[in-house]
């Protein structure tokens, strides 16, 4: 049973969202990012950002359950998430846990307010799934690191002010033991960003090149050569945190799909597929409740994050695959005649969903983690 205080918070969130008129998002990528930035600022000024962050650092000092309620109500209202989601939900928790007092004072307020947007510089052309083999180097010279290398699939790097970069700082140590976690100003000389246009038509992903980029030693997060632990913390929040938010959005998409079709006129096969999607989403909901309990108890990262990630990818691809098939010959139409199925948006959601098997760690890597760390199967040679 939900405590009365949480129900009151839900009612407050629902009332605010109804009165605030969340903006519709343009299909054009550049216009959409501008609308998301403005929405982030609105949320921050109204006290809906950093809900479960410490009050002394500018957050609201509430629980993760409160934050999840606002995510759910935002999805139901058709409201977008803040533009700085990577900072808030991926890099931010690691900054909170490992940051020094000076780092917290410098970075937290601009991150929460959306004045500074963050990206995540982990994957490389030859080190995507095998992150420990990354080649980007950072050589310590006096009080600065000299950073050289390349990152890829860096979401929103072209719009970001800061990047959380994994770099090899001790090439003589075992792969995962010689890595450090650096906070890099994207305006530093030597940083080059090249957007990559995806199959959806958006240019969200980017290549990032570092050529003798000088990073102050004070921007080292955590211990020197000890960045692997921080990387796993960040990835754990990326997998579990994103699953919490995306699950709420998928449930809204599912209800919209039900509203747009008549199962009685669609045949038994459609009914079976709609039912299968419902079962998958119910499973995701159960995993979300477990993820909240784990996060509250400090059990992130965990191999269970990989289970959440796998289930999310299945649910996303199953739901939008069904929706795409229902569109049939109308896939190219912005709005399918006689229904509320938005063909253009469903196609984009379907194409974006194909990436769910890769982003945040590929499906094969997640299955290996589950096999070895949860099921105790022998390590692959």
User: Given 238, 249, 251, 316, which residue is catalytic?
Assistant: 238
3-class DSSP string for the chain: CCCHHHHHHHHHHHHHHHHHCCCCCCCCHHHHHHHHHHHHHHHHHCCCCCCCCCHHHCCCCCCHHHHHHHHHHHHHCCCCCCCCHHHHHHHHHHHHHHCCHHHHHHHHHHHHHCCCCEEEECCECCECCCHHHCCCEEEEECCEEEEEEEECCCCCHHHCCEEEEEEECCCCCCHHHCEEEEEEECCCCCEEEEEECCCCCCCCEEEEEEEEEEEEHHHEECCCCEHHHHHHHHHHHHHHHHHHHHHHHHHHHHHHHHHHCCHHHCCHHHHHHHHHHHHHHHHHHHHHHHHHHHHHCCCCCCCHHHHHHHHHHHHHHHHHHHHHHHHHHHCCCCCCCCCCCCHHHHHHHHHHHHHHHCCCCCHHHHHHHHHHHHCCCCCCC
- CA distances in angstroms from 91 to 6, 72, 124, 196, 211, listed in the order given: 27, 22, 18, 22, 23
Tell me the two tokens of residue 180.
């450090």
Pairing of strands 191-196, 205-216: antiparallel
Half-sphere exposure of residue 94, counting CA atoms within 13 Å on the CB side? 29
- Report the distance separating Cα 71 and Cα 353, nearest Å: 20
Question: Cβ-count burial of 359 within 10 angstroms (0-12 exposed, 13-18 middle, 19+ buried)?
Answer: middle
Tell me the two tokens of residue 86.
């990577």
Q: Tell me whether residue 238 is one of the annotated catalytic residues.
A: yes
How many of the other CB atoms lie within 10 Å of CB of 198?
16
Catalytic residue list: 238
């Amino acid at each position: 049973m939900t405590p009365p205080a949480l129900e009151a918070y839900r009612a407050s969130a629902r009332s605010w969202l109804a009165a605030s008129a969340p903006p519709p998002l343009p299909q054009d990528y550049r216009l959409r990012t501008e609308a998301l930035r403005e929405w982030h600022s609105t949320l921050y000024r109204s006290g809906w950002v950093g809900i479960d962050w410490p009050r002394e650092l500018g957050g609201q000092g509430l629980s993760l359950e409160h934050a999840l309620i606002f995510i759910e109500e935002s999805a139901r209202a058709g409201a977008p998430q803040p533009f700085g989601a990577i900072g808030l939900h991926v890099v931010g928790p690691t900054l909170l846990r490992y940051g020094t007092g000076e780092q917290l004072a410098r970075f937290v307020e601009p991150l929460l307010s959306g004045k500074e947007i963050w990206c995540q510089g982990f994957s490389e052309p030859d080190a995507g799934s095998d992150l420990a083999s990354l080649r980007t180097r950072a050589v310590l010279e006096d009080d600065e690191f000299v950073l050289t290398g390349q990152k890829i699939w860096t979401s929103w790097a072209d719009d970001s002010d800061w990047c959380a970069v994994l770099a090899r700082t001790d090439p003589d140590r075992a792969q995962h033991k010689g890595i450090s976690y650096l906070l890099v100003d994207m305006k530093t000389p030597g940083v080059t960003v090249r957007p990559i246009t995806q199959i959806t038509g958006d240019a969200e992903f980017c290549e990032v090149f570092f050529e003798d980029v000088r990073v102050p030693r004070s921007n080292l997060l955590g211990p020197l050569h000890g960045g692997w632990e921080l990387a796993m913390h960040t990835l754990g929040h990326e997998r579990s945190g994103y699953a919490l938010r995306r699950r709420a959005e998928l449930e809204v998409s599912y209800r919209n799909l039900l509203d747009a079709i008549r199962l009685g006129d669609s045949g038994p096969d459609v009914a079976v597929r709609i039912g299968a999607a419902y079962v998958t989403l119910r499973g995701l909901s159960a995993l979300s409740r477990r993820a909240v309990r784990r996060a509250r108890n400090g059990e992130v990262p965990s191999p269970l994050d990989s289970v959440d990630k796998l289930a999310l990818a299945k649910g996303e691809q199953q739901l939008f695959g069904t929706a795409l098939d229902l569109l049939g010959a109308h896939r190219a139409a912005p709005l399918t005649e006689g229904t509320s199925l938005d063909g253009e948006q469903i196609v984009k959601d379907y194409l974006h969903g194909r990436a769910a098997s890769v982003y945040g760690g590929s499906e094969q890597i997640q299955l290996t983690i589950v096999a070895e760390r949860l099921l105790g199967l022998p390590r692959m040679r």
